[in-house]
Amino acid sequence: MSNSYESEVSDRGIFIKSNKARSLLILLATLMIGCLLGVLTVGMVVRDKVQTARQFTQKEGFVLQIESVLKPSVRQQPKLNPILNRYSEKVQGIFALSRTSLQLEMDAMMEELSTVVSEQQLDRLEHRRS
């Protein structure tokens, strides 16, 4: 004889007899859906932040981001464009110099590490860098 906590299989599928078991399954399903939505939302936010940061390193992206913050009027726009374009070139140069400096430091680190770690470890690190 089955008790109220057991599931019963019939021609139509599985029926849960217990209200506690049904409530638990609904709670678990809701929790799983919430976790999935949370992971997807965080992924979208992170991707958006990374994209925004990448745009800032490019001339057009820099200008667009500054303009989106300032929301200049039609009268301000002609005076604003030369200023933003001039500084966007400077900022782009700074980012290029920074990337070059970082690359040089990473190359020096790899050379120094080559005397301490195995070839396989260096390969893993190099793969991670690319």
- Are 66 and 82 in contact by the 8 Å Cβ rule? The answer is no
* Separation CA 99–CA 46 (nearest Å): 22
The pTM (predicted TM-score) of the whole model is 0.53
Torsion angles phi and psi, residue 9, rounded to 5:
-100, 130
Confidence of residue 6 (pLDDT cuts 50, 70, 90): very low
pLDDT: which is higher, 37 or 19: 37
Write the pLDDT tens digit of every residue in 75-115.
999 999 999 999 999 999 998 999 999 999 999 999 999 99
How many CA atoms, within 13 angstroms, populate the side-chain half-sphere of residue 13? 2
